[in-house]
Structure 1
Amino acid sequence: MPAGLFLGGMLLGFLVLYFWAIDRWLQGEFGRLSWREPTRVYARPLALSPGMPLNPEALRVELEAAGYRQGGRGPGSFQRDGGRFVLTTREFSDLDGRHASRRLQLEIDRGRLRALRDGEGHPLPAARLDPARIATLYGRERTERRLVALREVPPLLIAAVQAVEDRSFKDHAGIDFRGIFRALFSNLRAGEVREGASTLTQQLVRNLYLTREQTLLRKLREAAYALCIEARFDKGRILEVYLNQVYLGQEGSQAVHGVGAGAEFWFGRELADLEPQEIALLVGLIQGPSLHDPRRHPERARARRDRVLAQMVETGVIGREQGAALMREPLGVTARSGLRINRYPAFFELMQQQLGRDYPADKLNGQGLQVLTTLAPMAQDAAERSIAERLPELAKAAKGVPLEAAMVVTDTRSGELQALVGGAGSGIGFNRALSARRPVGSLLKPFVYLLALAQPGRFSLATPVEDAPLSLRVAANRTWSPENADGRSHGWINLHQALIQSYNQATVRLGMEVGVDRLVRLMEELTGLAPDANPSLLLGAVDLSPLVMTEMYQFLAAGGERQPLRAVRGVLDARGQPLRRYVQHLPGPAEQDAVAARLVTWSLQHAAREGTARRLQAEGLGWLQPAGKTGTSNDGRDSWFAGWTGDRLAVVWVGNDANQPTGLYGSTGAMRLWSGLFRALPSEPLAIDERGLERQWVAADEAVRTDPECEDATELVFVAGFSPREHRGCTLARLRDWFGRRER
């Protein structure tokens, strides 16, 4: 046998075995090819309704957080003229199903959404904006990907990819020899590399299984793989895999793969919503996302996009006039990418804790799920800005002592956490809102009064209590003698005055009568924590975190309803179908708790008018009619404020990590940050439901009814049927006034 024939037979046999082996391997590998999608975490969608509190700045924050573009067209864009907004929402999934994109017209005036209309100008009773993406859970594979089926890809994009990357895709068997010669001729004529010779299938093989090294062996393997894939799989499957695998950008350690993720990364929109010129740019980026990065190299990106448009005209995908018009359009990319690795780390930590019972990290990361949270971008932004702007001012008053702060904001109607700030910096670090346990001081006092007022036959806001020195034995050889913050005692006063002025001695006397053990049981019921039943607990001698104090105050702000705080609303699968709901259906408060909570709230509204929180009036927040309580630990080491309006509660802590004295009180420290929050955050005024209550004018020094014109007469609220029956007028006082006028 001639040697050449023998060698030829050996080579043919080797090629047959080689192709058989890679064909078997690719049937399994390519046939079962799948990707892990990242799990995406979203804020709550903004619910809109006519008359709701809203200002243009807060709406701008919401739109910016969700990646809306001002002046753009299509979903995810808006136009603004003063307080008038015209916007187009994106399609999104929520617990109640899929919400289609829609055009909305909003008119905002004097802190209210005065009008809400559809695109044709017809009034709407309600609408929702698609939520901002606030975090991404990638797992081990640091890849941003949003899988799309071929039927979901715009036909124009498919045509553009083939026109630019592989014009013979429908006809070749994996290798396009005519394309090789055409690209060679085109590049020689242009004097630069303008067209590649690889087919889509070859590019896909290179991206999936091979390296980019420029060697003959690699190119031969690439061709062999492409031929086998084309022989076994249809063109639709190959094209779908290509469109989901193609590399389109990078941010940090996150690589962006696939046209679905690319549309979100560069344009902040769904693939189906892209304009023709944006499709051309996306296709152009396939050649080199870094080289043609439109954020860093806009001129290169424009040149590449226009080259793609020219090729689309050349192949008849679009007309010549349309191509020329599209070349005049802006690039349309967002200022920053749509990726959100972890925008709000303090809130994210709490979200992970609450999800941990049902979704451990291995069941959450990289699973393509959608986590729907309760975070409100406008509330989070206002909280962060208040701390950033006002804490440096407080540091001056603290004589240079380094200050830190934490803030928790909730919805008073549902217990949903709208914002959570763990420290003065926005980065990842010690989360003081969850983990800093500090003495809460007077912040605990309202719950002493709550327990008393829940016994209407025994206590009312008019009940006298003596604010006078006292000594209590707290150990075998130790006594405790609390003093008031002003160093004075104030004699006999009623519970209302004792609470709004935050008198220590009166509160301790009341608490000892109510029972310290009852306060412990209440705290355990609301928070799960049961501190020691020491008398000093009545004045807040217990270390608690801002989140725990928010749990307690949520009970008051919700009108006596126990509402566990939650950061998660639900979890959707990759198709947008609900997997788990965390919406609460609570039975409502017991009548006794509801009435007592309303009485305490009524007094704390007065604390914000003429009591320890009266500085809120000077801050211009009196119109909100807030209820609030200051708190200060010994030596001013910790400054607290808890306050709520008609729809939001916020608890604020200010202090020093080394536990140094700051010299700040609740009203001069934490309350300043609370005020900064609500000066920016749209909110409803607090209106107390007075069902089950009645008003009476009473004497200041005794639980008896009196006349409004009497000196020191005070109007208080009582549980219906339990107001004082005895009446004491002020006849003698009126006679003295009358004789005094006659003598003058």
Structure 2
Amino acid sequence: MPRTPIDYDEDDSDQDGESTSGQWKRRLVTWTLAALGLGLGFLIPYMLYLNHEVSERFGRLQWQVPTRVYARPLELRPGLAMDAGTLKTELDAAGYHEGDGSRVGSYKRDGGRWRISSRGFNDVDGAVRARRLEVSLSGGRVANVREAGQKQALKAARLDPARIASLYGQKQEERRLVRIEEVPELLVTGLQAVEDRDFNSHIGIDFTGMIRAAFKSATGRRQGASTLTQQLARSGLLGIGKEQTLRRKGKEILYALIIDARYEKRDILEAYLNQVYMGQRGSQAIHGVAAASEFYFGRDLADLKPEQIALLVGIVKGPSAYDPRRNPEAARARRDFALGEFHETQLIDDAQYQTALKAPLGVTKEAGTLAPNRFPAYIDLVRRQLARDYPSDELISAGLSVMTAMSPSAQALAEGAVTRTLKSLDSKRRPPLQTGLVLTDVHNGEVLAVVGSRHHTEHGFNRAVEAQRPVGSLLKPFVYMLALATPERFSLASYVDDSPVSVDLGRGKRWNPGNSDGRSHGTVRLIDALAMSYNQATVRVGMQVAPERIADLIHTLAGIQAEPRPSLILGAVDQSPYAMAQLYQFLASGGEIQPLHAVRGVLGANGRALKRYDTAPAPAQEGDAIAARLITLAGQHTVTSGTASPLMRDGLGRLNSAGKTGTSNDGRDSWYAGWTGDHLAVVWVGNDQNKETGLYGATGAMRVWSSIFARLPSAPLKVGDEGIDWQWVINTHSTDASCGGARRFAFVKGFAPAYGPCPVAEPVEGEEERRSWRDWFGLGDDDDDDDAQAPPPPPPPEP
């Protein structure tokens, strides 16, 4: 049967349609496979590249961590000079908080009894464990120290030190790395409850959260869908920018997937807790929860309460928007929201929740303990002493811990004394006054405080270390010490001549120094010549000693370079307060060579000591010890009866201190060096333009010293008798204590004068002269000095 055209055409048409459809399907499959192949060909290498980036950046965790500088740990031991105010200052500086004394980092005071819960820390000699201590103060001293619940007293206990500075690199990032086990559990779980509840189950990204965020965005409500892993990925750690683009979002997702696949959840959380941005202090960025805890609360993470943890978790969402210092209401609302999440997920119970809601924000007024450097003069000295072993680019941002010798209480007292005293001395008749001050521990050479300017927080010229000013009479004790080193010729009881003196300088030049009061005092005892700072007598003694020996001595003891000219006898050499403190440390330590040091040691990032600078000094040689004792006795006489006697009127006689005043030409420079049984302080007061101030050593620098030691707990100075023979003396021979007019002197053992009978009291010629009407009214030479008479150095020899 013949086919009809219609049937044929219809069949042919179907076949053509099927052919066309099949062609398109084949093309679609081909194109899809090609696109997939191209995509995989690109994506696989790209993923491998990203995987390498993650491995390099995340795996090494190379954050820029500042080097932290710490004060010395306070060592509490029975007998230590300590009062309640000083102990509180030390505890406050170290970030302790008054409470019940049972929580770590807290203390409780009950009269003279203190309960202190210390924190564990690493020191130069190893780890120091946390302790709950009971400390009793009595009579200005530590009476006893014991561990809470224990009957046996401790020999000593150390409290963790205050942090005093941070040394940064190019990035001003404040960060303190912590392990996740060091972070309170509530902070770890609370962060997840608020920011990423499915953290432990998702693969780095949360599809459910994305869908939920997309739905809310469609309804006009914006909600973030980023996981903690994504937040970490887009942080500065992995170098992803913050621009809101699909490319950035895609890269963030890929990073998060790789991080989650490569690392344990614990490691991701730890990295997040150390990296998260938490605020800003000027140019200083705060990263990580540990640094944030110090920044906002001045506390260690372990000391935080639930409401403080909730505030930190809340700040994560927006450190600027929820800054509790600038936006307290917004911060409180965000904190309360976080507390609600804590409560909903049963991280805190009803009672904790209600208590936390009622609590204040609890942030400190200032930025916690994170001030980069509020002790510029002291930190300048630290840098100088570390420069030899740690170049500046190695010291900063290395995560080191520099353990210094600073005493926060001594530093505070020194700063306060400078502020009060110079304000009281300010006058329209004198130029603006400045100061430099160094305070040390006489037992070990540690530098406890440094003030480099009357405005002690200003950076710049450090007068304590850099100012080179004529030292005047501060050199006189060393002139007399050399004389006493020949006991067959000189003793404290020796008579010296304080009549006018003339020294031949050569080439027809002569030097005729006079006393600051313009008078001569005839024949005087050597101890009185030093205590009253008589120039003429000192020059006579110094010329017998020889300027060359004086120059050698000060170079040996303090590295001071000085020309051995006669004027050196009266202190014609320019030095800094720090250099003079090093010189006087010999006397204050009882004759030991103690190199001053502000740094006790440096710890690595692992807490182990890399370098120590606190080695014990060698014991004093017998001759040095005896010489130092004799000059110290003369220094005590200076305080009781000489140029430093105003200290007795200040009520500081209880310290039995020794000291020496000093004044340069026309009162341009006022000096005082004084020491007790625990401390030495050298103070300079003057002005940067080298103009006359009208101040003597006793009316300028000594006023600062007095203000410090009126408040600083310090042991009285006791001078030992080893190698010394005490004798009552009349005229030039030993006698009985009952002999009228006899005085008691210390001699080098074996060199006391021979015994003689008590004569009829007749004054030695010249001695009576100095007891004039001026002395009876306290108008004698008790303000020093002197050194103004030192001539300029002679010109160099002509060719």
TM-score range, shorter chain: over 0.9
Residue of structure 1 in register with 2:263 after alignment: 233
The match for 2:173 among 143, 147, 172 is 143
Distance in 2 separating the partners of 1:99 and 1:369: 18
Alignment of 1:502-521 (within 5 A): 502-521=533-552
Distance in 1 separating the partners of 2:761 and 2:502: 39
Distance in 1 separating the partners of 2:617 and 2:259: 57
Distance in 2 separating the partners of 1:296 and 1:103: 37
- Bigger Cα displacement from structure 2, 309-318 vs 566-575: 309-318
Residue of structure 2 in register with 1:737 after alignment: none
Q: Give deviations 1:532-589, integer Å, cap 9, x for gaps.
A: 1111110111111111111110011111111111111001111111111112233211
Alignment of 1:237-636 (within 5 A): 237-336=267-366, 337-396=368-427, 399-426=429-456, 427-636=458-667
Residue of structure 1 in register with 2:232 after alignment: 204
Alignment of 1:692-711 (within 5 A): 692-699=723-730, 702-711=731-740
Residue of structure 2 in register with 1:214 after alignment: 244
- Bigger Cα displacement from structure 2, 687-696 vs 287-296: 287-296
Distance in 2 separating the partners of 1:74 and 1:477: 78
Q: Give deviations 1:435-467, integer Å, cap 9, x for gaps.
A: 111111111000011011112222111111111
Residue 516 of structure 1 and its aligned partner are, at CA, apart by 1.2
Residue of structure 1 in register with 2:201 after alignment: 171
Alignment of 1:82-121 (within 5 A): 82-120=111-149
Distance 1:125 1:299, change over 3 A: farther
* Counterpart check, 1:712 vs 2:728: no
- The amino acid across from 2:250 in the alignment is L
* Counterpart check, 1:154 vs 2:184: yes
- Bigger Cα displacement from structure 2, 551-560 vs 286-295: 286-295
The DSSP-based 3-state class of the residue aligned with 2:316 is helix
Distance 1:192 1:618, change over 3 A: farther
- The amino acid across from 2:698 in the alignment is S
Residue 284 of structure 1 and its aligned partner are, at CA, apart by 1.6
The DSSP-based 3-state class of the residue aligned with 1:688 is coil
Distance in 1 separating the partners of 2:698 and 2:118: 42
CA contact 1:407–1:433 (8 Å) conserved in 2: yes
Residue 733 of structure 1 and its aligned partner are, at CA, apart by 7.5
The match for 1:26 among 21, 31, 50 is 50
Distance in 1 separating the partners of 2:253 and 2:280: 28
Distance in 2 separating the partners of 1:330 and 1:7: 64
- The amino acid across from 1:80 in the alignment is R
Residue of structure 1 in register with 2:777 after alignment: none
Q: Give deviations 1:70-121, integer Å, cap 9, x for gaps.
A: 3377222233355443332222110122122222233334422234343337
- The amino acid across from 2:232 in the alignment is L
The DSSP-based 3-state class of the residue aligned with 1:642 is strand
Number of aligned residue pairs: 729
CA contact 2:673–2:681 (8 Å) conserved in 1: yes
Residue of structure 1 in register with 2:779 after alignment: none
CA contact 1:410–1:649 (8 Å) conserved in 2: yes
Distance in 2 separating the partners of 1:45 and 1:538: 41
CA contact 1:440–1:640 (8 Å) conserved in 2: yes
Q: Give deviations 1:20-70, integer Å, cap 9, x for gaps.
A: 244223322222332232111101011111231112222222122222223
Alignment of 1:29-108 (within 5 A): 29-32=53-56, 33=58, 34=61, 35-71=63-99, 74-108=103-137
CA contact 2:105–2:303 (8 Å) conserved in 1: no
- Bigger Cα displacement from structure 2, 445-454 vs 85-94: 85-94
Residue of structure 1 in register with 2:795 after alignment: none
Distance in 2 separating the partners of 1:143 and 1:606: 54
Q: Give deviations 1:449-496, integer Å, cap 9, x for gaps.
A: 101111222211111111111111113121001101111111111211
**Root-mean-square deviation over aligned CA pairs:** 2.3
The DSSP-based 3-state class of the residue aligned with 1:663 is coil
CA contact 2:470–2:664 (8 Å) conserved in 1: yes
Residue 650 of structure 1 and its aligned partner are, at CA, apart by 0.3
Q: Give deviations 1:390-446, integer Å, cap 9, x for gaps.
A: 1121223x8232111111100011111001111111210211111111111111000
CA contact 2:487–2:748 (8 Å) conserved in 1: yes
CA contact 2:404–2:598 (8 Å) conserved in 1: yes
Distance in 1 separating the partners of 2:46 and 2:636: 77
CA contact 1:44–1:375 (8 Å) conserved in 2: yes
Distance 1:318 1:10, change over 3 A: farther
- The amino acid across from 2:207 in the alignment is F
Distance 1:645 1:674, change over 3 A: same
Distance 1:149 1:17, change over 3 A: farther
CA contact 1:105–1:121 (8 Å) conserved in 2: no
Distance 1:293 1:77, change over 3 A: farther
Distance in 1 separating the partners of 2:110 and 2:54: 53
Distance in 2 separating the partners of 1:532 and 1:10: 91
Normalising by structure 1, report the TM-score: 0.93
Alignment of 1:637-648 (within 5 A): 637-648=668-679
Distance in 1 separating the partners of 2:348 and 2:698: 67
Distance 1:228 1:724, change over 3 A: same
| Percent identity of paired positions between Structure 1 and Structure 2 | 51
CA contact 1:405–1:653 (8 Å) conserved in 2: yes
Residue 310 of structure 1 and its aligned partner are, at CA, apart by 1.3
CA contact 1:520–1:531 (8 Å) conserved in 2: yes
- Bigger Cα displacement from structure 2, 269-278 vs 58-67: 269-278
Q: Give deviations 1:229-255, integer Å, cap 9, x for gaps.
A: 333333233222222211112212121
- The amino acid across from 1:424 in the alignment is R
* Counterpart check, 1:223 vs 2:253: yes
Which contiguous aligned blocks of 4+ residues in structure 1 show a shift greater than 6 angstroms? Answer: 184-189
Residue 606 of structure 1 and its aligned partner are, at CA, apart by 0.9
Normalising by structure 2, report the TM-score: 0.87
Distance in 1 separating the partners of 2:157 and 2:361: 30
Distance in 1 separating the partners of 2:296 and 2:149: 30
- The amino acid across from 1:586 in the alignment is P
Distance 1:285 1:90, change over 3 A: same
The DSSP-based 3-state class of the residue aligned with 2:437 is strand
Q: Please tell me whether Structure 1 or Structure 2 has the larger radius of gyration of its CA atoms.
A: 2
CA contact 1:266–1:338 (8 Å) conserved in 2: no
Residue 363 of structure 1 and its aligned partner are, at CA, apart by 1.6
Residue of structure 2 in register with 1:727 after alignment: 756
Residue 160 of structure 1 and its aligned partner are, at CA, apart by 1.3
Residue of structure 1 in register with 2:688 after alignment: 657
Distance in 2 separating the partners of 1:187 and 1:277: 31
Question: Which consecutive residues of structure 2, in runs of 5 or more, have no partner in the other structure?
Answer: 1-22, 764-799
CA contact 1:165–1:196 (8 Å) conserved in 2: no
Distance 1:597 1:662, change over 3 A: same
CA contact 2:725–2:749 (8 Å) conserved in 1: yes
Question: Which consecutive residues of structure 1, in runs of 5 or more, have no partner in the other structure?
Answer: 735-744
Distance 1:696 1:292, change over 3 A: same
The DSSP-based 3-state class of the residue aligned with 1:287 is coil
Distance in 1 separating the partners of 2:141 and 2:163: 26
CA contact 1:92–1:99 (8 Å) conserved in 2: yes
